[in-house]
Amino acid sequence: MAKTAKIFIDGEAGTTGLQIRDRIAANPHVELRSIAAEHRKDANARREMMAGVDLVILCLPDDAAKESAALAASLGAQAPKLLDASTAYRVDPDWVYGLAELTPDQPGAIAAASRVSNPGCYPTGAILMLRPLIDAGIMAPDFPVTVNAVSGYSGGGKSMIAAYEARTAPDFELYGLGLEHKHVAEMQKYTGLTRRPIFVPSVADYAQGMIDSIPLHLDMLKGSVKPADLEALLMKRYAGSDVVRVVPAEANGKLEPEALNGTNGLEIRVYGNEKRGHAVLVARYDNLGKGASGAAVQNLGLMLGIPVSVDLPKAA
């Protein structure tokens, strides 16, 4: 029988923290520890809590996550394992990147790590679509990549959620048009791109669900590649995965973003027009699932060696 692991979610009242809690609350192999609301910002109380658990999940803004990581490090040999859901350590070489599907050996690296950085929502789909092409030599590392993405408003934090729920936010909005979005560094590093990709995120008036899309001119790839070749390559790469599925593109050329909500699944499609020499790679997933909380639960299962259910429990 698997052991029981003690877990503390530092920042459990936020959107990601609440969904992680919902995913593991009924797990018999997990014992959740919490701090009273009035002590959540008390460094001594948090440090004491950290000393008594196996793993701490940091669901905090970047600066607060760094403070918590330092608190944990101050415990020395008593320090728990850390799983950080912020952006703070995603490109830090001393932290393992928590995208289990990145390469065949990544699950083992996560399992052996004491500090893991959970991937960002937007980069997850882009990395899983691009990395196999670069590894196979079909796409050059300096390929000029553009990633377009749309997310439900739940990915924007409390202020964005409040604005949409109050009906004061626009129905659809592009943002990050200064081209300095914090997810780009992560996207570039783990795809293997040497040229900085252009990333254009957007948010729409629905709660959750995400689509990443990457347009390609096929004549800029190597080896006279057709859309079917891209699909076959991706299908081979993720064969046997419980999380990533490569599925046929819809004949009507349409795709909505919410079908995988509540799950940790991610679907990849290749839409193509061979005559025009064009293709679009598309990833659909839940920005709060594989894009955040689902991935975190997947990682804690690997880090602690316990069975986990990564999807949200279905309502009775």
Q: What is the pLDDT of residue 13?
A: 87
Q: What is the pLDDT of residue 316?
A: 44
| Distance separating alpha carbons of residues 209 and 96, to the nearest angstrom | 26
| Distance separating alpha carbons of residues 241 and 310, to the nearest angstrom | 14
| Distance separating alpha carbons of residues 227 and 276, to the nearest angstrom | 11
Q: Answer whether 0.75 is exceeded by the pTM.
A: yes
Q: Report CA 79 to chain centroid distance, whole Å.
A: 25
Q: Which residues are catalytic?
A: 121
Compute how many other C-beta atoms are within 10 angstroms of the C-beta atom of residue 170.
11
Three-state secondary structure call for residue 67: helix
Three-state secondary structure call for residue 246: strand
Q: What is the pLDDT of residue 39?
A: 82
**pLDDT tens digits, 95-143:** 999 999 999 999 999 999 999 999 999 999 999 999 999 999 999 999 9
Three-state secondary structure call for residue 200: strand
Strands 278-285 and 210-217, how do they pair? Answer: antiparallel
Weakly modelled stretches of the chain, pLDDT under 50: 1, 316
| Distance separating alpha carbons of residues 52 and 41, to the nearest angstrom | 18
N- to C-terminal Cα separation, the chain: 28
Q: What is the pLDDT of residue 2?
A: 56
Rg from Cα positions in the chain? 20
